[in-house]
A and B are shown apart, each in its own frame.
Chain A
Amino acid sequence: MSDHEYTPKSNFGKWFNDRLPLLTLANHLTDYPTPKNLNYWWTFGGILTFCLITQIVTGLVLAMHYIAHADMAFDSVEHIMRDVNYGWLIRYIHANGASMFFLAVYIHIFRSLFYGSYKAPREIIWIIGIIIYLLMMAAAFMGYVLPWGQMSFWGATVITNLFSAIPFVGEGIVTWLWGGYSVDNPTLTRFFTLHYLIPFLILGLVVLHIWALHVPGNNNPVGIDVKKPSKDTVPFHPYIVIKDGFALLMFMIVFAFFVFYSPNILGHADNYIEADPLVTPAHIVPEWYLLPFYAILRSVPDKLLGVVAMLSAIFILAALPWLDTSKIRSAVFRPLYRQFYWILVADVLILGYVGAMPAEGLYLLIARVATAYYFLHFLVVLPLLGYKEKTLPIPLSITEPVLGGSPNLATAKNDERLNK
């Protein structure tokens, strides 16, 4: 691997690299030993980086033409769609890009849940990831407000009103958030500012996320620690680069179908009606990627407790490395956890479905059961499973499928020594 290692040849190159080793940083990235058994679920990190860059680039161009003013925002979006060269393309990529971003991030998160990637020593990577996910939701929500359509306006009204549930200071906070006594121009301009800021915060956190990843290295489907470099690993370049590239291209084909052939299918028709503070839409629904949390919010009869439940549903994820008491990472060797995992997946999908439906009758009942199960999974099932579950024997290494290993290399070595 070191045979193709780059060293600067020119005097300037050497001078520069001695002071800032930027030129040899690529050596780390190309050599970075990666478990060779990573499957396609592991390609979504690269795909997410692509999504972020796409959103930033298209967003910059849109911001050049967009006018953040309550009287002109809707018009300026139509101006982009009609008169700006390829404005329709850029806007549709940006709007559908948000959905694609969330699709990829959900796959990324559920991959982590299945293979136990959040467990020691990767807790910090996981927590940074949860913060990124939170910021993504904030950015997406504020971005959806910018076209100033009916769903923009009423979505903003519903979500900002949640803060009024805070005892004593709630009303004051909402007025402060709005910059007035209702969602209006000051709200729009501050949302635009924050919508512009957050992606760059996310970018910074992504750097930390990858940095933290490169300390222990990737987890893998078997969930055991691998020696690096060894027969179990391949250098990042060209092996992982080409594989990520292949998966990214497949993802882009799906993305392109949305952008070119059904660009509005993921949006709500009401958002092509200009915002009208005097007319409330029949159903106010958030974008699809927020629906599970919306369902949790509405399933609790009390406003404050509903907000608490919704926020807990997200923040509980940050505590996951400590809620899951099992020593085994990968669900491949955890027969019981595997079943609960799929129940959780179904549970979240059900929450998403009822989130889009009116909160009444059977839908409300289903939402309540699903919400209860969501918390049960994290607070009861996961901690208990670690003690009760009979896990399958795990291999010692990826290349040598000898059973009886341990997820932790140090313990494995210790066991080996003791057995001799």
Chain B
Amino acid sequence: MKNFFRILFLITLFVGFQYNSNAAEKIEYLKTDWSFKGLFGKFDRASLQRGYQVYTEVCSSCHSMKYLSYRNLAEKGGPEFTEVQAKAIAASFEVTDGPNADGDMFTRPGKLSDKFVMPYENTKAAQAANGGAYPPDMSVLVKARGGGVDYIYSLLQGYEDPPSGVTLDDGVYYNKFMYGNKIKMANQLSDGLVEYGDGTNSTVEQMSKDVTTFLMWAAEPHLESRHRMGFKAIVYLIILTILVYFSMKKIWSGIKTEV
């Protein structure tokens, strides 16, 4: 048993080490309570729905979300819009389809099975419209940035006037959480920018939190079932381990040695 704890200790060390080396660049991000963290973490439905609203009204004019479909909005573990609502959301977008029998492309209202409509035809068009910078696709953005949700949440609130001595080119902005502090996206959020349907006060902080929650779900749509299954799997393993431990003690009881 003594050895066993040594092994456990080493594994803990290793994990700690890993955490540490990942957080090599020490930046203090703004903190907030995320409902989806922890053993039983779940998304806050209302926050996801508000976050979707922020995304459509603000972000989606430049940022695509190419891996999401409108049907996802009604799926379990997500914003859980009703199917009627999700259909209405889909139908509010014009989707290019085709070619039809005459060989022509045509537009039609969106359906649940359609992917989120992209703001630009292609990367080049996106760059041309944004001074050479490409607004990244947001589907897995949270997982593609070192600080994850805390980073995105902080970045949205991190715009400041540049300190003296820092000169910014045209179309470049100062953000204290951005790597190198220079960002090509202007500050997008201001208090009251979005009018929330549920009457929540749309402060910059609230909108940042909501849209970041939405992005987390977009990147990890199965997070809730992962947490649920993880808890069951680990409880099952622990019980089985205890049973096997006592079986082992019984089997080895006739042998004089340390197990």
A interface residues with partner B (beta carbon < 8 Å): 36-37, 39-41, 75, 78, 81-82, 88-89, 92, 103, 107, 234, 238-239, 242-243, 245-247, 249-250, 252-254, 256-257, 259-261, 263-266, 269-270, 272-273, 282, 288, 349, 353, 356-357, 398-399
Pick from A88, A256, A282, A349: contact of B237, CB under 8 Å: A256
Q: A253-B237, A256-B234, A260-B234 are in contact. Are A239 and B144 (CB under 8 A)?
A: no
Known contacts being A36-B257, A260-B227, A353-B21, is A272 close to B144, with CB within 8 Å? Answer: yes
Query: Which single member of A92, A243, A270 contacts B248 (CB below 8 Å)?
Result: A243
Q: How far is the CA of A245 from the CA of B256 in the complex (A)?
A: 20
Most B CB within 10 A of own CB, among A41, A82, A252, A399: A82
Given A246-B248, A260-B226: A41 touches B3 (CB 8 Å cut-off):
yes
Complex A-B: 18 CB contacts under 8 Å = A37-B257, A75-B67, A82-B72, A88-B220, A103-B14, A243-B252, A245-B244, A246-B241, A246-B244, A249-B237, A253-B241, A260-B229, A260-B233, A264-B143, A265-B18, A266-B18, A272-B219, A273-B136
| Residue of A234, A246, A257, A270 contacting most chain B CB atoms (<10 Å) | A246
Contact A242 B247 (CB under 8 A): yes
Establish whether residues B241 and A269, one from each chain, have CB atoms under 8 Å apart when the complex forms. no
Asked if residues A234 and B255 are in contact (CB atoms below 8 Å), the reply is yes
- Interface Cβ pair total, 8 Å cutoff: 110
Q: Which of B128-148 contact A (CB under 8 A)?
A: 136, 139-140, 143-146, 148
Question: Which residues of chain B (218-245) have a CB below 8 Å from chain A?
Answer: 219-222, 226-227, 229-231, 233-234, 237-238, 240-241, 244-245
> B140 near A78 (CB under 8 angstroms)?
yes
| Chain A at the B interface: SS class | helix
Quick check: A239 and B244 within 8 Å, CB to CB?
no
| 8 tightest A-B CB contacts, nearest first | A260-B230, A272-B144, A249-B241, A272-B143, A40-B3, A242-B248, A356-B21, A272-B140
Residues of B within 8 A of A256 (CB): 230, 233-234, 237
Tell me the bound Cα distance from A356 to B33 in angstroms: 30
Shortest A98–chain B CB gap in Å is 14
B125 within 8 A of A: no
